[in-house]
Amino acid sequence: MTTPASTSTPAPVTRTVGLTGGLTVTIDEYGDNSEGTGVLMLHGGAGPRTMAGISAALSEHAYVVTPTHPGFDGTRRPERFDSVADLAVAYLDLLDALDLRGVMVIGNSLGGWIAAEMALRDNHGRIGSLTLVNAVGIHAHMAENRVVDPRTVAPAELGRLSFANPAFRPDFASFSDEQRAVAAANQRTMAVYGGEGFTYDPKLRGRLHRVTAPVLVVWGEQDGIAPLKYGRGYADSFPDGHFAPIPDAGHFPHIEQLGRTLGAIGDFVDAVVKPDGTV
């Protein structure tokens, strides 16, 4: 798991899956579901495109499913579907629908929060492990370790806080009207899911001792959105939590440092998830 995807990696197949209660979720599938297991990729507020590179890379080793959270990128969000808990239950229903077990759930930012909530509700035993990549969701004990509310930051400053390398920072001034509209709609949807705390549930940290699956917390060391100490605190909240700092990366280490992020995940799999080399 230490090398990026090759240029020959097939494009994903996009389809819509119907879930319990009439909800539909759009997913991108990489590879084929022949072994009954795989990786579920959960994006943050920046949208599903932020997970495309790592999803393609991991598809060289596993079946990968990358959903678009309902309401993002123009997809439909039912009015009643309005919390991170709703997303967590929906994605557990998705794992049921796909009949996957031993799944590694990888979530970035908001997606990491969803992954943690999924692990707390996994009464069908679908999840094998979690990887949280600069996740939000817990409330910081110390004010200086709190997550920045992106609604309070200008777009250019948000880019600076999110990426260590200026080359990766989006040029918002070059966005088309359509791109601006999609980004604004995505942020409104994120605000619905985030609720009053927006980036956290004040009670989540106190529940994480119930998570029995092994958890890797990957963290870009130069994250200006969610600081490094916040990430260490997240890892320490799990009974079987492991922490992997990624240098020269901000809030999206899987974009800025894909190889190092894949290496950390591969080491976690080899040492913790499948130490005996089982498939």
pLDDT band at 7; cut points 50, 70, 90: very low
Query: Locate tokens 């039912």: which residue?
Result: 78
8, part of any domain: no
CATH number at residue 147: 3.40.50.1820
3 state DSSP class of 1: coil
1, part of any domain: no
261, part of any domain: yes
Please count the structural domains in the chain.
1
Give the single-character DSSP code of 270: I
218, part of any domain: yes
Mean pLDDT of all residues belonging to the chain: 94
3, part of any domain: no
Kindly list the distances between the CA atom of residue 252 and the CA atoms of 14, 40, 163, 176, in Å, as whole numbers in the listed order.
Answer: 24, 17, 7, 23
pLDDT at position 268 is 98
201, part of any domain: yes
28, part of any domain: yes
262, part of any domain: yes
Each residue's pLDDT tens digit, 68-109: 999 999 999 999 999 999 999 999 999 999 999 999 999 999
Domain of residue 133 covers 13-273
Each residue's pLDDT tens digit, 9-44: 678 999 999 998 889 999 999 999 999 999 999 999
Query: Locate tokens 């700092």: which residue?
Result: 245
Q: Compute and round to an integer the Cα radius of gyration of the chain.
A: 17
pLDDT at position 5 is 41
pTM score, whole prediction: 0.95
pLDDT band at 181; cut points 50, 70, 90: very high
